[in-house]
């Protein structure tokens, strides 16, 4: 993010840009604010291993030229005709393919480039840029990094998260990150919230201002309280952050309050999160076990009553907890 400090947008400007971005997304989604269930993150690696290296194709063999078209764009290709087949190299995208004919090689080359194109197009669409984004995420402005947390490609969102973490000391991201935790409108909010929650594992670094920290904790509490789903395991993540990464007394109070949340997803996350409270704050064991025993009798969800009882047993026995329960609608 090569921006001189004096030219950085203010926290208020970044927040205003985010709000406008969210409303644009709602409008493009025909007014619907229903969250999208995101896919799992698939780590991206590029360029792929060059197939010509496996066959030791020398530089002098790349004598022919061709091209292929993808997504309305033409890509020049260097071609090598060899006893092992026809090799093609697209230096514009840094990938190769091999085939028995030029036509077959070009088809394979186009197919091999699709992971890169999908990623670049997803970035461009999220940022409102035309076509493929061919720059570097690390060169983007702060407000664009915040927007990319909402990218449907979760690996892109994760890379944006890493860039924000690198530059957290600039102190310009706080209000926008808190707003993401409270976002109930953008279709892709759950994966963005997961990214912010991952940053909150080091809340004092990401939000050095104590007022921002208090606002973020309140936003995480409300996320558990009101959750209508647990897409991207964002609600689970909030419970882990509150229980395992906030000072023990603060995390304990928030999670025990959320034992009474109207959201079953929030209550599940709270029951999981208190395990981490005890890990880091052992004096809380007795009170937490008592509250789990109460929940095992009173929670309206049979699944959570059993979960609370099992968690209390695990804590009393000093052993690791078992797997979280899965609600029927999540088994897809």
Separation of alpha carbons 217 and 199, rounded Å: 13
Residue 99 near residue 108 (C-beta atoms within 8 A)? yes
Say how many C-beta atoms besides its own lie within 10 A of residue 322's C-beta.
Answer: 11
Per cent of the chain over pLDDT 90 is 95
Q: Is the pLDDT of residue 5 over 70?
A: no
User: Per-residue DSSP letters for 201-240?
Assistant: GGHHHH--SHHHHHHHHHHHHHHHHH-S--GGGHHHHHHH
Cβ–Cβ contacts within 10 Å for residue 114, how many?
12
Q: How confident is the model at residue 331 (pLDDT cuts 50, 70, 90)?
A: confident
Q: What is the mean pLDDT of residues 51-76?
A: 96
Q: In which band, very low, low, confident or very high, does the pLDDT at 2 lie, cut at 50, 70 and 90?
A: low
- Is it the case that residue 6 has pLDDT exceeding 70? no
Q: What angle do CA 49, 51, 55 make, to 5 degrees?
A: 135
Q: Which residue has the tokens 């991207």?
A: 232
H helices of 128-263, in order, are 142-148, 154-166, 174-182, 189-199, 203-206, 210-226, 234-245, 248-258
Rounded to 5 degrees, φ, ψ at 74 are -100, 140
Domains of the chain by start residue, with CATH: 5-41+134-330 (1.25.10), 51-120 (no CATH)
- Reported as a single tens digit per residue, the pLDDT across 161-215 is 999 999 999 999 999 999 999 999 999 999 999 999 999 999 999 999 899 999 9
The model's pLDDT over 42-52, given as tens digits with 9 standing for 90+, comes to: 999 999 999 99
């Amino acid at each position: 993010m090569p921006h001189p400090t004096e030219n950085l947008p203010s926290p208020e400007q970044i927040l205003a840009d985010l709000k406008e971005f969210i409303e644009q997304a709602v409008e493009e989604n025909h007014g619907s604010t229903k969250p999208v269930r995101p896919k799992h993150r698939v780590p991206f690696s590029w360029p792929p291993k060059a197939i010509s290296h496996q066959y030791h194709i020398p530089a002098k063999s790349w004598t022919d030229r061709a091209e292929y078209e993808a997504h309305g764009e033409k890509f020049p290709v260097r071609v090598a005709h060899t006893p092992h087949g026809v090799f093609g190299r697209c230096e514009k995208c840094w990938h190769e393919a091999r085939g028995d004919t030029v036509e077959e090689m070009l088809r394979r080359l186009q197919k091999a480039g699709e992971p890169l194109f999908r990623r670049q197009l997803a970035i461009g669409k999220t940022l409102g840029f035309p076509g493929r984004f061919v720059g570097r995420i690390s060169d983007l402005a702060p407000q664009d990094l915040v927007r990319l947390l909402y990218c449907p490609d979760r690996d892109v969102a994760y890379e944006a998260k890493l860039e924000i973490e690198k530059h957290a000391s600039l102190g310009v991201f706080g209000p926008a990150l808190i707003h993401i935790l409270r976002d109930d409108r953008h279709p892709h909010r759950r994966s963005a919230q997961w990214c912010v929650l991952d940053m909150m594992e080091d809340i004092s670094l990401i939000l050095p201002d104590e007022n921002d920290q208090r606002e973020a904790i309140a936003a995480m509490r409300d996320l558990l309280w009101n959750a209508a789903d647990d897409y991207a395991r964002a609600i689970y993540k909030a419970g882990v952050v509150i229980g395992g990464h906030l000072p023990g007394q603060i995390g304990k109070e928030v999670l025990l309050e959320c034992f009474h949340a109207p959201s079953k997803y929030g209550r599940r996350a709270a029951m999981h999160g208190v395990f981490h409270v005890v890990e880091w704050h052992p004096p809380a064991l007795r009170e937490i076990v008592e509250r789990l025993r109460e929940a095992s009798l009173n929670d309206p969800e049979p699944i959570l009553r059993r979960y609370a009882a099992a968690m209390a047993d695990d804590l009393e026995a000093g052993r690791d907890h078992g797997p979280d329960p899965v609600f029927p609608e999540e088994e897809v």
